[in-house]
């Protein structure tokens, strides 16, 4: 179902009345890794909107490597995202970590994110395949492109064709960056599938210094959009502070991106 042999024209996925992914416009999703407080998410939403972002990101259910790390505000976090949407008009993307909470997340989110760690959680993929909301599917950290497309197929074969693929970096021998952002996955995916492809330079590099150059490179490679972590106070972030941009740096990056991609 994801193959270009089945459907030649690119899929354009409507998120709201004004935002669609996969068309002419490069769509930018931005916000903190985790929703931490009302003030933090509202401040982030206002800042990313002012810089020109189209969608607000923020995790309420966090799939943390350590069980002792901050696990997210859960439903309270979803409510804060909804509040930030009301205040700014930005649609929201947030992660769903298990089938049991998928209906709850779908009540609040405009796009449901499947994280890298759940990219082959087939029960979860089937569950979100039964929902009628766009799904942002991240590439698993050790997944081949073919396996990535098969995970999309799990969602689509349940009836949900609104799948957005996200290259977020893979595990390699290199330790200078958190992951290795596989830029070549973008043109390879665009050749094989009609689904939109976005890139996550934040998780792809793990270091805010490298986010802007890799964001620009991903757009130049043909990405339909980006997802970028932005935090008003990265030093005090509950998760992923080292890779989060301050709002000012994010605004500079958005200016840079507009020079590469006039349709933003």
Q: Residue 141: what are its φ and ψ, rounded to 5°?
A: -70, -15
Binding site for Mn ion (CB under 5 A): 33, 240
Q: Which of 59, 72, 134, 201 binds ligand PEP (CB under 6 A)?
A: 59
Nearest distance, CB of residue 63 and ligand PEP, angstroms: 6
Q: Which of 198, 205, 243 is nearest to 221 (CA)?
A: 198
Nearer to ligand PEP, 54 or 138 (CB): 138
- Site residues for ligand PEP, window 173-212 (CB under 6 A)? 200, 203
Place of tokens 């330790």: 175
Nearest distance, CB of residue 101 and Mn ion, angstroms: 18
Nearest residue (beta carbon) to ligand PEP: 115
Q: Which of 30, 33, 111, 257 binds ligand PEP (CB under 6 A)?
A: 33
What is the rounded distance in angstroms from the CA atom of residue 145 to the CA atom of residue 172? 15
The answer to whether 152 and 2 are in contact (CB under 8 A) is yes
What is the rounded distance in angstroms from the CA atom of residue 114 to the CA atom of residue 99? 11
Nearer to ligand PEP, 18 or 144 (CB): 144
Place of tokens 């082959």: 120
The answer to whether 49 and 90 are in contact (CB under 8 A) is yes
- Site residues for ligand PEP, window 101-120 (CB under 6 A)? 115-117
| Residues in contact with ligand PEP by the rule CB under 6 A | 33, 59, 63, 115-117, 138, 168, 200, 203
């Amino acid at each position: 179902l994801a193959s270009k042999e089945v459907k030649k024209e690119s899929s354009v996925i409507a998120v709201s009345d004004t935002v669609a992914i996969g068309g002419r416009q490069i769509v930018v999703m931005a916000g903190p890794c985790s929703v931490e407080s009302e003030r933090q998410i509202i401040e982030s939403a206002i800042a990313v909107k002012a810089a020109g972002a189209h969608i607000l990101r923020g995790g309420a259910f966090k799939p943390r490597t350590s069980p002792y790390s901050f696990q997210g505000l859960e439903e309270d976090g979803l409510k804060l995202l909804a509040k930030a949407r009301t205040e700014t008009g930005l649609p929201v993307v947030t992660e769903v970590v298990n089938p049991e909470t998928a209906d709850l997340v779908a009540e609040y989110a405009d796009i449901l994110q499947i994280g890298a760690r759940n990219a082959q959680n087939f029960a979860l993929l089937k569950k979100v395949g039964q929902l009628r909301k766009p799904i942002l599917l991240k590439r698993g950290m050790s997944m081949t492109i073919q396996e990535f497309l098969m995970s999309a197929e799990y969602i689509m074969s349940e009836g949900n064709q609104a799948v957005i693929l996200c290259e977020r970096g893979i595990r390699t021998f290199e330790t200078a960056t958190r992951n290795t952002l596989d830029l070549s996955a973008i043109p390879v995916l665009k050749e094989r599938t009609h689904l939109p492809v976005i890139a996550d330079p934040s998780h792809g590099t793990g270091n805010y210094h490298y986010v802007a150059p890799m964001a620009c490179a991903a757009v130049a490679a043909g990405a339909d959009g980006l997802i970028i972590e932005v935090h008003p106070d990265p030093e005090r972030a509950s998760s992923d502070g080292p890779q989060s941009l301050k709002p000012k740096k994010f605004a500079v990056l958005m200016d840079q991106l507009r020079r590469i991609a006039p349709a933003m």
